[in-house]
Structure 1
Amino acid sequence: MSDGHPNASPKLHNAAWPGVVGKGGEGNDPPIELETMLDLTAAAEVDGIKFDGVDLFLFAPHVDIDAGDDDLKALADNVRSRGLVIGSVVAPVWPPTGGGPANDPGEGREKFLTQVRKGCRIAERLRELGVRPYGVVRIDSACSPADWAADPETSQKHIAETFKQAAAIARDHGERLAAEGEICWGGMHSWKTMVDLLERVGEPDTVGFQADMAHTLLYTLGENAPGDRILPMDFSWDDTATLDAALKTLTDALRPWTIDFHVAQNDATVFGSGSHDHTGRHCLPNDPNGKLDIPHHAAFWLRDGQGELTRKFEHICWDGCMFPNSVMMQPQTWNDILAKMVAVRDHHGWN
């Protein structure tokens, strides 16, 4: 808290994975080391307020999914030394990172569950080390909408069963799983298929939804699922009332399942780089093409249908993937991001 900023909760986190996602490979910027991402996060400050922590991607070169105990102790010390904690972590469940598609009931499922098990082990150990007071383990279906669409009913059934088995693993480690709502993941590419999947899993205490403001905006446009579009085809972005009504429909359906929340900006287009393709374009918070009034639209996730605070999230995280390294290495970038996070907490936080 500070003058003019009365709220201390939820805690404010930065995501470290923009230093890795979309990086590397021919024509792309190289990864930004975790140490550098931690330094940039810790240095940001707005009106005396700093980031409280970071959310992490459990994949090299940031955090090796097979990291040993000594490695995790060193990670905890590195984060703590900067006055930060760790919140949610991302299990690398995709085939290029050692996992497998959740809609494959054979080898794909086994590889997927192996990565979930490893991710939950790390998450649990970081809690034991005292550096991770809250957070979830993030997953997705690790299959494309095209593969899913070849047999939607069977795909949905297999993904739900994979997630059920993943839930049992998470419970063994005292963890919860958040399925990321993003149009590039089969069975999760539409708000309706996302709700259907969560209902099929039927484990609300263990498996929930991770809402990212940039990705979920594309749900209203029916990207990858035209039949589930909420906004009219002739929609104008100047029509804020229609946009708010669409977001109300969306969030009323998904808010009850939401256990992890990303503040983000989007210009209503898709973008991808590296192996992470055709997903919601993350914009800088003050991008003139951004379609979201971030503090205003965050309310649809942080407040219930009657406008009351849900207080469901101990922390919220900024997510902004695939910015050029030249942008990410500027301290002002992170001050601008933190300022928007503070504004969200000013409007929708508590003590």
Structure 2
Amino acid sequence: MADPNNYPKLHNAAWPGVVGKGGEGGEPVIPLDTLLELTAKAEVDGQKFDGIDLWLADPHLSIDSDRDQVKRMVDHIASYGLKVGSFVAPIWAGAGGGSAMGSADDRKRFVSQVRKAAQIGEQMRELGIRPTGGIRIDSSTGVGDWDKDPVGNTKLIAETFREAGKAAQDHGEFVVAEGEICWGGMQSWRENVRLLEEVGMPGIVGYQADMAHSMLFTLGYNAEKDRLLPEGYDWQDRSVLDAAYKTVADALRPWTYDFHVAQNDGTVFGSGDHEKTGRHVQVTDPNGKLDVTKHAGYWLRDDAGNLTKKMRHIAWDGCMFPNSVMTAQQTWNDVLGAMIKVRDAHGWRE
């Protein structure tokens, strides 16, 4: 039997332990140590996760961590046998940042958060634990506010992203913007392309493709004019979904520098203070609309079917699950099994 593919590396993500958690009436945040332990223990046919992608905010790892604190965290994660990949920078107003199309002060805080994340990323690279990964951002504004001046607001968001890209580049980092239906100027596949073209920093500011969130673009939530699937679409006709999803992937793939394996059921959901976005479901959910292995290839291969090898690691993304699901070891064994199938189908060996 041939040796299995060892690229892209397989990462879990820490932010599902935080997103949609906490606050009045919400489930408690899941500690980073719990997520590290679950990630390290997951195993399928002798294969394990290679690393974890981090949430750079309390209570996981503060964006304001000094070098000693970062070093201690690096040593701690390394003790689990894991590497570090992409970061989520807390660029939102409630987390110390501000709207990318807000006031001059809002936008300055946004860029400052990216700069801090880039500094941590640079240090982790120097310490040898972070061989790959970008810094995840979004527009930090709602669709309704953006829609008051679509052209002007997209230009303003692009200007902020451009400054964030420069801040990241100063530390050898790159930025990836995760388009979701809840973010103004990023709520459709066309708007994401328009925004990234306006930024005009290929290789430095790109797209983070979450399979599930990107699939919601085909249904036109918050962007009916960019809808690709017909009203009343019959989900049993897979060829129509495949064609629509390929349109989305073909448009955004040239800009995609970071990739999340995920599944959803074609509906929207929000919890805690997170606005409604595509509902992640478990990889084993029979209501999942994606063929995870097949549709991952739309992002990891070019339009001719050739491997791009652009993503040196891929991560699982499943936010807003109940804590009972998140803390069950079987959940992560199932996720790892699905990711191994993706790597077997679309990976390579070095």
Q: In which range does the TM-score fall when normalised by the shorter chain?
A: over 0.9
Give the Cα–Cα distance (whole angstroms) in 2 for the partners of residues 78 and 300 of structure 1: 36
Asked if structure 2 preserves the Cα contact closer than 8 Å seen for 1:5 and 1:346, the reply is no
In the alignment, what sits opposite 1:258?
A: 256
Q: Could you give the per-residue CA deviations for residues 298-349 of structure 1, whole angstroms, max 9, x where no partner exists?
A: 1110111111111110000000011111111111010000000000001111
Q: Which moved more, 1:105-114 or 1:80-89?
A: 105-114
Q: Could you give the per-residue CA deviations for residues 189-220 of structure 1, whole angstroms, max 9, x where no partner exists?
A: 11111000000000002001000011001001
In the alignment, what sits opposite 1:7?
A: 5
List runs of 5+ in structure 1 lacking aligned partners.
none
Q: CA deviation at 1:283?
A: 0.6
Q: Could you give the per-residue CA deviations for residues 74-124 of structure 1, whole angstroms, max 9, x where no partner exists?
A: 110111111100000011001111110001241111111111111111111
Give the Cα–Cα distance (whole angstroms) in 1 for the partners of residues 248 and 328 of structure 2: 35
Return structure 1 stretches of 4+ with deviation > 2 angstroms: none
Where 1:46 maps in the other structure, the secondary structure is coil
Map 1:184-203 onto structure 2 (within 5 A): 184-203=182-201
Asked if structure 2 preserves the Cα contact closer than 8 Å seen for 1:105 and 1:162, the reply is no
In the alignment, what sits opposite 2:284?
A: 286
In the alignment, what sits opposite 1:245?
A: 243
In the alignment, what sits opposite 1:182?
A: 180
Q: Could you give the per-residue CA deviations for residues 112-166 of structure 1, whole angstroms, max 9, x where no partner exists?
A: 1111111111111111111111100111110111110011111001001111111
RMSD, aligned α-carbons = 1.0
Give the Cα–Cα distance (whole angstroms) in 2 for the partners of residues 298 and 59 of structure 1: 29
Q: CA deviation at 1:43?
A: 0.2
In the alignment, what sits opposite 2:123?
A: 125
List runs of 5+ in structure 2 lacking aligned partners.
none
Flag the 1:253–1:212 CA change in 2: closer, same or farther, 3 A. same
Q: CA deviation at 1:234?
A: 2.8
In the alignment, what sits opposite 1:108?
A: 106
Percent of aligned positions that are identical: 60
**Paired residue type of 2:91:** V
**Paired residue type of 1:9:** Y
Query: TM-score if structure 2 supplies the norm length?
Result: 0.98
In the alignment, what sits opposite 1:320?
A: 318
Q: Could you give the per-residue CA deviations for residues 260-285 of structure 1, whole angstroms, max 9, x where no partner exists?
A: 00000000011111121211111100
Where 1:323 maps in the other structure, the secondary structure is coil
- Picking from 45, 69, 78, the partner of 2:67 is 69
**Paired residue type of 1:114:** S
Where 2:156 maps in the other structure, the secondary structure is helix
Give the Cα–Cα distance (whole angstroms) in 1 for the partners of residues 22 and 2 of structure 2: 42
Where 1:208 maps in the other structure, the secondary structure is strand
- Picking from 162, 166, 169, the partner of 1:168 is 166
Give the Cα–Cα distance (whole angstroms) in 1 for the partners of residues 159 and 271 of structure 2: 30
Asked if structure 2 preserves the Cα contact closer than 8 Å seen for 1:120 and 1:173, the reply is yes
Where 2:270 maps in the other structure, the secondary structure is strand
In the alignment, what sits opposite 1:155?
A: 153
Give the Cα–Cα distance (whole angstroms) in 2 for the partners of residues 4 and 13 of structure 1: 23
